[in-house]
Structure 1
Amino acid sequence: MILLLIVITVVVSALCFRQRDLFYRLALSPFQVVHSKQYYRLLTHMFVHGSWLHLIINMLVFYSFASEVWELFHSLADSGWVSVPTLHFLTLYLGGGVTAAVLGLPKQKDNPAALSVGASGGVASVIFASIFFDPWTPLYLFALVPIPGILLGVGYVVYSWRMAARNVNDHIDHRAHLYGAIFGFIYPLLMNPKLISFFLSAITDLPWF
């Protein structure tokens, strides 16, 4: 499933690099979603990217974390905590991207020029689901500096929130990152509220004791 999602994303993105009309038809346009009811864009924008670098980074990060979360969801299913783990994984990833897109609509709904592409909302959801279950595992900032996932996650949320609030025009959809991260962190509780015990157990198991 993970590789299938990556292949679909690579193929669609590559087609959009060559066919700009397809790019514009699939990209998230809040104006078109709200005023023309083109709701499909809430999903299709996840499979479109602005450049090869954008695509490669998103897919590498997605693959790195998705493999762990996939195994974890299936382990939870084997233990009776959840059912249909594959559906939950798809809901986590695709639902994260769609939720981030929906929550970002009000800000740009009257701006015909506003476009957003990329799987960042879904990728952030997968990352933060991983942090929920294993908060102290080090993640590497800029691939060099190891920082406990929960601390890096808090920093990521604060940074994304501040950048979104300032409306910085750096061609990064900070709202998608923020909303995707929040969705991913709470999604385990939507699967089964009792999974809060996993987080509480992990967060209190301090790594230096």
Structure 2
Amino acid sequence: MCAHYTGFSDEDIDLLVAQLMGEEPQSQETQSQSNQDRKRIDVYPQQVAPVIVPTFDTSVGVPQFAQGTLERADLEWGYSSQWNPRPIFNTRIESADKPIWRSSMEHGRCVIACRSFYESSGTETRISERTGRPIKQQYIFTIPNMPVIFIGGIRRDDEYSMVTTRANALMEPVHARMPLILHPTELTTWLGPDYMRLADRSQVPLALHKAD
């Protein structure tokens, strides 16, 4: 299960939100300075991170994003529950009808924007430099020529969870599941009533390399 990704600052998410709603982009000079100022932000479960959320009910959706339809929300990664002491930070799209997810999947879908995400191999190990003991080998995943990866998520109050689906051929050697990665043109579909047709991510291109 994905439990680590490299995210964006609040300012970068605000810029993405404005761009998705068709607002005027910053000048090239300002954007260049923003790119230089960007820092690596590692996000783990139970941390608060900026997420792109719609201002409309996702059971209805909108034909296209207009001014005021999206905003940034700072949410904690992971759903709390009385029966599980650990936060539930991944949600299978196939489990949309389960009681804990039903309302969020219908009415509260959102979008996680990141630079890359990490996944641990189910079979491959390496020796930890810190402890000298075997640990699971982690891989870093990106999408070629796409500096921003959009991933489907759901929210409940001040919490969010990352939606996952069956791994494609590029992901499967590492893990049986993968985040529900979205092309920018699919965001209105994800935030609308026909979102289940995005469950098949077999054509999503991925690049991976071993994490140190």
TM-score of the two chains, using structure 1 as the length reference: 0.26
Higher helix share: 1
TM-score of the two chains, using structure 2 as the length reference: 0.26
Higher strand share: 2
